[in-house]
Amino acid sequence: MENQLEKVFVKVNQRWQKANIINEEEGKVNVLTQDGQRFSIDKESKWLELVQNPAQRYAYGDVKEQLEGLYISFEKLPENVKDNLVQGKEHFHVSTYLSDGELKETSKMVQMVYDPNMGSRLFVQFKRKNQVTLDQAMAYNHKFSPNEFERMVSKKEVVLFLGITKDGELFEKLAYYEPKLLDIRTKSALTPNTYLYGSKLSATQAKALNQGEEIEIKIKTKSKGTKPYLVSYTPRNEIFITKNLQLEKARNLEIVTDEKKKSSSQRMKI
């Protein structure tokens, strides 16, 4: 059996979830879902979808259903937008509609997220008519302080804050100002359960990255073995940025050397 058939998405009890194909026989495949359910399904079923690339986190059928619940046509979206959405990336969607004989515009940020209790869902945040004010700046029962608000809106910084559940439990979140929405936008904070190139972050590493620091982390690669890298995290795009530590040291050394040469040359001219 081809490797591309091994990982799939299946829809069971109105929920799309990941599964692995165990075997195939007579036009049917036997699958094992993440929660341990094992069953057979027709290979051509619309409720079975092959994983198309390693970065895919959600089924295309799942995203299509979620968007159409908001009256957004999945089929009309560009292919790159569809691919981004199934990878869990956000999309700023602008559309028009008629109201009382007038053409109006609505804008919103949409992004697929995963809830351990509810499964996958579409998170939607609408653009404000006016820029958010300090009095309006709240998220997850946290009221942002004047300092936090200034850092986000004026200084364009990311703020690490504590959200509060209905049961009073605290959890970390990241927040920043999103000009497209004229509002504060939040993202999940990194935790010791977050993976970076196959290895979990330590609590110290997660905390430093959440605070916007660039830190040194040893990363194991297939071709070069374990090497030290400078790592930072961008919550807006939810990506890690890695830099080769040796190249950065060499680059800094070249800068210092060039400055010394320039300074020496100026002294000689004088």
Comparing CA positions, the residue from 141, 137, 145 lying closest to residue 177 is: 137
| Position 6, amino acid | E
pLDDT at 103 exceeding the cut of 90 = yes
Quote the pLDDT of residue 253: 55
Quote the pLDDT of residue 254: 56
| C-alpha span between 13 and 94 (Å, rounded) | 32
Q: What is the pTM of this model?
A: 0.82
pLDDT digits (tens, 9 = 90+) for 15-35: 999 999 999 888 899 999 988
| C-alpha span between 127 and 234 (Å, rounded) | 22
| C-alpha span between 227 and 223 (Å, rounded) | 10
Domain with CATH 2.30.30 in the chain: 3-50
pLDDT digits (tens, 9 = 90+) for 132-182: 999 999 999 999 999 999 999 999 999 999 999 989 999 999 999 999 999
pLDDT at 92 exceeding the cut of 50 = yes
- CATH class label, 3-50: mainly beta
Q: In what order do the strands lie in the sheet with 183-188?
A: 159-164, 170-178, 183-188
**Which DSSP symbol is given to 129?**
S
| Position 246, amino acid | Q
pLDDT band at 226 (very low <50, low <70, confident <90, very high): confident
**Least confident interval from 38-42, 44-48, 186-190, 259-263:** 259-263
| C-alpha span between 101 and 239 (Å, rounded) | 44
Quote the pLDDT of residue 252: 61
Comparing CA positions, the residue from 123, 87, 86, 89 lying closest to residue 108 is: 123
pLDDT at 81 exceeding the cut of 50 = yes
| Position 63, amino acid | V
